[in-house]
Amino acid sequence: MKIARLSCLALFSLALFGCDQTAKKTPPTTAIKAREPVIALALGGGGAKGFAHIGVIKVLESHGIKAKIVTGTSAGSFVGSIYASGQTPYQMQNLALKLQESDLRDLTLNSQGIILGQKLQNYVNTQVGNKPIEKFPIRFAAVATRLDNGKKAEFIKGNAGQAVRASCSIPNVFVPAVIGNTKYVDGGLVSPIPVKTAKDMGADIVIAVDISARPTGDKPLSMWGLLDQTINIMGQQSINEELSQANVVIQPKVGHLGVLDLKSSNQAILEGEKSAQAKITAIQNAGNTPGNIFNGKVATTSCVMGHSMGGGASFLAAQYQPSITAIAALAPAETNPSASGAATSVSIPSLIFAGGNDCVTPAAQHSQLIYNNLNSSCKSYITILGGSHCQFANQNFNCSLGEATCSPSPTISRTTQQSIVNQYLIPWLNFRLKNQCQQWYAMQNQLSSDASVSLLQDCPVPVQCISPVGRKTKYITKKSAFLKWTPPGCWSTFEVRYKPSASLTWTIISGLTTNTCQLTGLTANTSYDWSVRAICDGASGLFSPWGSKQTFTTLLVNPANASFIREAEVSVLLVPNPSNGEFQIQIPEALEGKLNVRLTDMQGRILLDETSSTTSGFNSIPVRISQPANGMYFLVLHDGTTQTSRKVLIER
């Protein structure tokens, strides 16, 4: 998950290297890690209500939020194990909708319980491909309770089905699971929502999903409802303690669903989706710490920056910390251990600023030496003419005192020197950390004409300003078409031009910030040409050449008679079906553009005819028909190139 856009982790040392030439102590350095936080899902127990976990996972993944750790108790361990084993949320949803009580329940005559649990164990092992927990692509832990001493047990390796069986073994309902010589029962007795387990496994951000039944004044309607509520009453303090340690808490509204009601799986999933969607902003901000100067700025790309000895220490840090992806040093000083020696093993892009009148750390012995030794893929050395050593930083008494005893003196002001630094540092960071190619060219253009600086640089042009490739035309209708292309390298702004093939006049759409474009207002049964180019530097008029011409023809006015329409084998799920006139069209395949949805009765009368916007990946389209009659209906979907139909049964 991308928490933010820019990170520059700074090592600032205003200690003056040249003021005490006899100092021999190695300056302290700080190891800086710049990485995306480790996100964990802590899934609580609640029987069949646990299908809500699937809805939560669906929404999280749709926003690019992928857990690296999953912990689960009881139903949470059941869902969590299948997810951690590598199954997609959509695969899990299909499993949930098909799951029958007979798949899991094996009744037995036993004084310790009425359900053996072997079927549950076998089912889980089948779904995870019989992989042990330690082979899962996502780290996983199932939480259970030791029956002999009442302590928490965390299964992080071994037989997955056996671990889930132990975690789900509700006392007096399931026969206790025996692993080794120890009996285990439901983990909800000691850790209803295993947040602490997730933290112990190294999570930075824990998303807790709480599906527990809150005590209410209503009398439970069944033995299972009573049991569920009783367990949660006993564990309420533990629930509150666990939730207090979570960064984000998601609480699907599933209290009205039965703990063993597998038929309500779809409703539980939808409740999970709704509750997760409401928490997306909170999750995306969970990595931010109020008051921290880097709040909202930490990402997978990072820069270490320092002044004087801090600048030299930046190269020492980069030598030993592979997560650092760039260095920006201000008048870096030689250190002990040697910064120039460390530079020989530093290959990441580096930017060094030096003061032309730096008498404290003369360039030949310090910054220039470090630059020459750099083994960087791209290195730049900017000398600020007339600039000094201390003016890179704000006023510092010791630094200024030392600088006053040497010469030459600065010939520009502190404000001017710092302004020059910002003029080049910011676009350099934008390019290196945010992949903005335009910023690189803007910086180079300015450097070429700036008389206040001199430049040494060994850096290839990062990306040529070339035409986008992979140009495609999709979802053609009689009045519209969807254009798509592959961006060339890191260029991210584009222009599209299009025209009727018989015309000489182009229509230009400028300022596109995605690699797609929807053309509308076209004429039916007409041939069109289009092409696209990258805007590499709009300010200086740097554009790529126009890509090769692409041609498409819009559809006839009556698309129903067009030969292009074919019955497609598209995976479409209607949930629920039968319905009361309200249902979801769930489509797992990648769609981009518009999808026409038409519902007719057996006589061909149209009840619904509308177009929905779709996105790449899983799509869920709600349908609501007012006061429909009971009976069979036909649902027809087409995206301009393919068509598929489904039968819909309405029972009110």
Residues annotated as catalytic (active site), given as ranges? 74, 186
Residue 551 CB coordination number (10 Å): 10
CA quadruple 56, 61, 62, 63: dihedral positive or negative? positive
Q: What are phi and psi of 43, to 5 degrees?
A: -105, 120
Residue 501 CB coordination number (10 Å): 12
Do the Cβ atoms of 188 and 180 come closer than 8 Å? no
Question: Residues near 327 by Cβ (< 8 Å), separated by ≥ 6?
Answer: 303, 304, 305, 314, 315, 318, 346, 348, 349, 350, 351
Token couple for 150: 């009442």
Q: ∠ CA(3), CA(65), CA(96), 5° rounding?
A: 165
Question: Residues near 366 by Cβ (< 8 Å), separated by ≥ 6?
Answer: 17, 312, 331, 332, 333, 334
Do the Cβ atoms of 559 and 478 come closer than 8 Å? yes
Maximum distance among all Cα pairs of the chain, rounded to whole angstroms: 98
H or E element in which residue 400 lies: helix 397-403
Is 323 in a helix, a strand, or coil?
coil
Do the Cβ atoms of 104 and 123 come closer than 8 Å? yes
Do the Cβ atoms of 515 and 482 come closer than 8 Å? no
Is 637 in a helix, a strand, or coil?
strand
Instruction: Decide the pairing of beta strands 303-307 and 326-330.
Output: parallel
Residue 489 CB coordination number (10 Å): 15
Which residue type sits at 488? P
Q: What are phi and psi of 606, to 5 degrees?
A: -90, 120
Cα(178)–Cα(189) distance, rounded to whole angstroms?
Answer: 17
Instruction: Decide the pairing of beta strands 573-575 and 582-587.
Output: antiparallel
Residue by residue, what is the 3-state secondary structure of 378-393? CEEEEEECCCCCHHHC
Is 351 in a helix, a strand, or coil?
strand
User: Half-sphere exposure of 609 toward its Cβ, with a 13 Å CA cutoff?
Assistant: 6
Residue 147 CB coordination number (10 Å): 20
